[in-house]
Structure 1
Amino acid sequence: MNILINHLKPKQFMNYPFKILMVCFSVFWMSCSTQSLFDKSGLPSITVDKDPLVLHNDSVRFKLRATIPAGLVSEERTYTLLPEYQYGEGALPLEEITVDASDLAGAGQAVEIIRNMSFPYMEGMDRGELRIKGLLEEVESGKTFSTPYITLANGIISTVNLVRVGQFVPGENIPDVGAYMSYDDDFMNMASHEVNYYFAKNAAQANPSSSNGAFISQLRSMVEKGEDIQKIIIVGMASPDEKDYSSLAATRTQVAEQQVRTQLKKLGYQGALSDVEIELQRKEPDWLLFRHLLRTFEGIDMAERDRYFDVIYAEDSYEEKVEQLKEIDSYDRFAREKFSQMQMAKVMVMMAQDRRSDPEISAMANMYIKGTASGDELTEAELARAAEFNPGLKEKQLIYEAMLKKHGSALAYNNLGVVYLNQAHRMIKISDKNQKVNEAMRLFRMSNEINESAQASHNMGQAYLMWGDYGAAYLEISQANALAKSIPEFQSFNEGKRGALDIIRGDYKLATLRLDKAPETATNLFNKGLAYFLAEDYGQAAISFEESALSNMEFGYAFYGLALVAAQNSDEERLYENLRKAAQRSPYLKRRAATDLEFKDYFDDQKYIEAIK
């Protein structure tokens, strides 16, 4: 201060405290003037329709009512309401509501405000408070006066978050998710063996080269078993760098038929070849094998791979697509490395006898899992059956990967994706989990590319669920329901998941209707009880929760649901009894009960405290 004074001239020194005094007086006058406004008019009256607030769908919604007293708002002054939700160590600002002279019904009138408001729910919000303050502002000067915060509601009831959609918390069993495909029994009774007969590029003559050693070896293996052949299907193929696809593929089909007949005779097949049905199929250019080879083509990035997919998925003719493929930088290398695998005829040999016995399939699959067999000994149907025997995810992964190497079928892609989903479910690191879910989604897309199915669509929905994208999950699972019209058992299974999503979406009545059609598992019955509870049908909720408990007495959620109903009915005896059972069975529910505002009226009751100890 002394330094400042020393630099001031006498006249400046005389003016300096006067200016400070004027500023202080102005602030004091504004404060007194504004305060007198509030003294005269009164503070605004503000309420909300829920206390505590309630989570519905994915957000917290409430109706705010406010009365701004006459005199606070005029041509000279505006009034702004500043609501926020405070929780943890921070606060979420909500929509501001500004009132000015244009909102007045007449000079000197009060202003009535009714506003529907919402904010997104985030973890940790349950124990917070909705509060609000006002800001009075002079239009010309911009000077403001802020009122203190007042609390409108304490906490959020988030009962809808109890819905079970495959998630789990520490201390709970990890549920299996997803839908595997399985072979029909009729197909399983026919052991289908695939063998390929390869040709030189642009040629359709018999090819005795070493590339067909496996063809002869596999036919010999079938002949040595002494089994009758029921049917043979032969399909000729050609690669994009070969000329005249249709003619070349058709000729290769005929040549392969001759080779099959010739080799079976040479190898000593005992059955009557004249009785074997041989079907020659004319196949239009098919990009399935091309896509499979592209996915195993190393050394190109996703952007380059997408260029290939953009071409083959276009509506252009086969010839136009081939010309466009040639423009891709890696095409020549791709052709050199992979196209020879498309220059062939696919031969499917179906044996008349039943498939191997389950113990034999299991034994051979175990040899493959242990690395003492190649996996070629089993048909695709038998590999699928073997995967059903092996509950371990690692074993299933090896078997389905073997199926992909041999066949690249819709079943193999879908079922390997289900394995990946369940592996992701058990991962702790978020980045690893997300990467695994991404891989699973890619496999479901491949499965649907081959043959669109209810299972792959359901699984895509489950993958979105694991990401917390409930909107996308609902679309996929609804699509699965449409695809499952002829599969009532699968449709029932799918309805269980769709009903659970209806709860999350806030459509509780629809959820009860869908869950009525779902299998009566402990989880589905609990979800149905929860839907009834949220729809305020407490009688039906109690029935469903009881059925859930009877279905699995170790399922703590069923008892928690019964405690919720008891709290609504002010039935303290049943409340404490069921809360105790829930807390004993689930550490998560024990922690939740300590702060769940559904039970706020009982927090200080010693019996309540003892029930959740």
Structure 2
Amino acid sequence: MVPTYLERFGDSVKFELKVSLPQNTLPKNTVYELIPSFRYGSQVYAFDKKLGFSSDSIGPYVSPQTKASFSMPYRDGMEKGRLMAYGQLTHQKTGKSLKTGEEVLAEGIITTSELSQIGQYYIDESIPVMGLSVKYGDQDAYGMYKDGWTELQRLFMAYSNLGFAEKSEYMKVIEGRGDFSHKNLLFMELKDYDKVRKDVLPRFDRLAAVSMATTEKSEMEIALLSRQIRKGEISAALLNEAELAAAVDLEPGLGEKEVLLKRMCEVHPSAFSFNNLGVVYLNLANRSLDRTEKNRLLASASEAFDQSNGFFENPYAAYNIGLVYWMMGDKASAYNAFYRAMAITRLDELRKVHEAALGAVSIYNGDYRLAVIHLNKAEKNEINLFNQGLANLLAEDYYNALIQFEESAILDISNGYPFYGMALIAARNGEEIILYENLSKAVSRSAYLRKRAPLDMEFIRYHDKVGFKDAIR
């Protein structure tokens, strides 16, 4: 079956071709082959695979047919290319061959899955936000700070109603992966958990609430000392962990945050400080237009997240590593990282963030039904609702896609993406007036969508129409 258009699935373009010939078409001792290629710009992608059959294997009253699946890596510029093919008949004994003229099988590649978004990031936003930072003082993030799980370990070591072997099993969990919600789930599977739940964990909850450092200096003092620390005039050790965290929050610029967090990693090294430093590098990379600099910053972000996970594998740094993969274009590894991050927390708020990311990557990778499943469990904000609509659109469930695009637009009327989604549905359904109306709203709200629309193969039937041209002006 020849596709009416090709479609991008993750980093690949996949399609199926079918060849059918009338009865008694092939002379004896001949082989027929269909040889496809893809042409874009001045380049040609030649497929290793061919479709064909031999006359010797076909009966006199049979119409020969065969089909095969093809795949090629997606490259920039392919979206306006053409899938071409020619037939070749070769005599098996003489080796002589005849070729047909080359024909266009499909023109253009649909890249709608590229519209998938993660978190608070939009392609053309002036200040996009990437990454999961840890807020200092959040009890759910206990263990992320400099003292780590020391308090919980001390409570278990001092508890007299557990033997050494039983304590060792609990200590393995404490020193292992996951936040407290995940560790508590593993505790439940261990011997004597009922005693631990009654005698140890309530004491930990009370201590965890007050054990983190607090700010002893005023905001003005912190700001003044922060400036001196950034200039290298004084040691960062003059501020405690909570005060340095507050100093980072006071600074609006990523460059200033980077310097302070690097100092914090020196004097208060922790899963918290390294994770938040990595988030700064992630956002600096997202703002960089230079590919070499972007890659350098992504490498720094990855190293910082690895350092954070070195204290204990946590659902913040594990998620952020997925974003590094996402920005590097490795969406398969991004999915694995997001899935691993979700496996080490039971906190609803975090899991919703992870589900949203898994849904976004699933769209990009071409698994639209899986994307819908993940996004059904994510927070119902304007970005996740847009992604959910996009997944349903690509799965050809236009009814639910339209509902979700409309809900996304209601939550943020200034966002052009849901209107673009509604325009895509209208284009596929041949509803020109609705298409132009929604496309005009989309491009008026987004510079990126204004550039995309005239090149988008979803609108190929409308590119030359006056209504379309008026809508994108």
Give the TM bin, normalised by the shorter chain: 0.7 to 0.9
Indicate the residue corresponding to 2:356 in structure 1.
496
Q: From 462, 468, 471, give the equivalent of 2:332.
A: 471
Structure 2 residue 393 is matched with structure 1 residue 539: no
Amino acid at match of 2:363: I
Aligned to 1:85: 38
Give how far 1:61 is off.
2.5
Counterpart of 2:247 in structure 1 is: 386
**Aligned residue number for residue 484 of structure 1:** 345
Q: What's the secondary structure of 1:118's corresponding residue?
A: strand
Q: Residues of 1 paired with 2:32 and 2:332: CA distance? A: 38
355-364 vs 577-586, greater mean Cα deviation: 355-364
Which residue is equivalent to 1:450? Answer: 311
Q: Please report the TM-score for the alignment, with normalisation by the length of structure 2.
A: 0.79
Q: Distance in 1 between matches of 2:446 and 2:264?
A: 40
Q: CA deviation at 1:109?
A: 4.8
The 1:188/1:132 distance shift into structure 2, 3 A limit, reads: closer
Aligned-pair distance for 1:400?
0.9
Q: How far does residue 448 in structure 1 lie from its aligned partner after superposition? A: 0.9
SS of equivalent residue, structure 1 residue 524: helix
Give the counterpart of 2:281 among 399, 420, 445.
Answer: 420
| Structure 2: distance between partners of 1:353 and 1:447 | 22
CA distance in 1, matches of 2:122, 2:141: 36
Decide whether aligned partners of structure 1 residues 105 and 71 sit closer, same or farther in structure 2, where only a CA change above 3 A counts: closer
* 1:112 correspondence with 2:69: no
Aligned partner of 2:452: which letter?
A: R
- Residue 406 of structure 1: how far off its partner (Å): 0.9
Which residues of structure 1 form unaligned runs of 5+?
1-46, 195-231, 236-283, 285-349
Q: 1:149 to 1:351 in 2, by over 3 A?
A: closer
Structure label with greater radius of gyration: 1
Match of 1:144 in 2: 97
2:411 is the counterpart of 1:551: yes
Shift in Å at residue 57 of structure 1?
Answer: 3.9
TM-fit CA distance, 1:465: 0.8
Inter-CA distance 184–108: structure 2 relative to 1 (3 Å threshold): same
Query: What amino acid is aligned across from residue 457 of structure 1 in structure 2?
Result: A
Point out the more displaced range, 472-481 or 420-429. 420-429
Q: Which residue matches 2:184?
A: none
From 440, 445, 464, the equivalent of 1:580 is 440
Superposition pairs of residues 187-206 of structure 1, within 5 angstroms: none
Which is worse superposed, 390-399 or 599-608?
Answer: 599-608
- Pairing partner for 1:402 from 263, 275, 297: 263
- Distance of 1:540 and 1:187 partners within structure 2: 35
Deviation for aligned residue 1:381: 2.2
Give the distance between the partners of 1:92 and 1:498, measured in 2 at CA.
31
Which of 36, 40, 56 is matched with 2:9 structurally?
Answer: 56
Give 1:173 deviation, angstroms.
2.3
Displacement of 1:456: 0.8
- Matched residue SS, 2:79: coil
Q: Which residue identity lines up with residue 333 of structure 2 in the other structure? A: A
- When residues 135 and 356 of structure 1 are mapped into structure 2, their CA distance, relative to the original with a 3 A threshold, is same
**Normalising by structure 1, what TM-score?**
0.62
Sequence identity percentage: 39
1:142 is paired with a residue whose SS is coil
Task: Provide the rounded CA distance (Å) in 1 between the counterparts of 2:232 and 2:445.
Answer: 42
Task: Label 1:360 to 1:520 Cα distance change in 2 as closer, same or farther (>3 A).
Answer: farther
RMSD: 3.1
Q: Partner of 1:126: helix, strand, or coil?
A: helix
2:76 to 123, 126, 144: 123
Q: For 1:426 and 1:538, locate their aligned partners in 2 and report how far apart those are by CA, in whole Å.
A: 35
Secondary structure of the equivalent of 2:378?
coil
| Aligned residue runs from structure 1 range 294-305, under 5 A | none
Q: How does 1:207-356 map to 2 (within 5 A)?
A: 355-356=216-217
3-state SS of the aligned residue for 1:602? coil
CA offset at residue 148 of structure 1? 0.5
Secondary structure of the corresponding residue to residue 529 of structure 1: helix
Q: Is the 8 A contact 1:180 1:414 kept in 2?
A: yes
**Letter aligned with residue 365 of structure 1:** S
The 1:484–1:76 alpha-carbon spacing in structure 2 relative to 1, beyond 3 Å, is same
CA contact under 8 A between 1:193 and 1:379: conserved in structure 2? no
What is the distance in 2 between the residues matched to 1:490 and 1:588? 30
Distance 1:131 1:193 in 2: 61
Aligned to 1:599: 459
CA distance 1:108–1:421, shift in 2 (3 Å): same
1:62-101 map, 5 Å = 62-71=15-24, 73=26, 76-97=29-50, 99-101=52-54
Secondary structure of residue in 1 paired with 2:17: strand
Paired AA for residue 127 in structure 1: K
Q: Which residue of 2 aligns with 1:432?
A: 293
Alignment match, 1:272 = none
**In 1, Cα distance between equivalents of 2:420 and 2:292:** 33
Deviations 1:492-543 (A, max 9, x none): 1222111101111222223223223323333222111111211222222122
Find the aligned partners of 1:145 and 1:193 in 2 and give their Cα distance: 75
Aligned to 1:208: none
Distance 2:92 2:115 in 1: 49
| Contact kept? 2:213, 2:241, Cα under 8 Å | no
Looking at structure 1, the residues matched to 323 and 437 of structure 2 have their Cα atoms a distance apart, in angstroms, of 35
CA contact (8 A) 1:81 1:96 kept: no
Aligned partners of 2:214 and 2:243 also within 8 Å: no
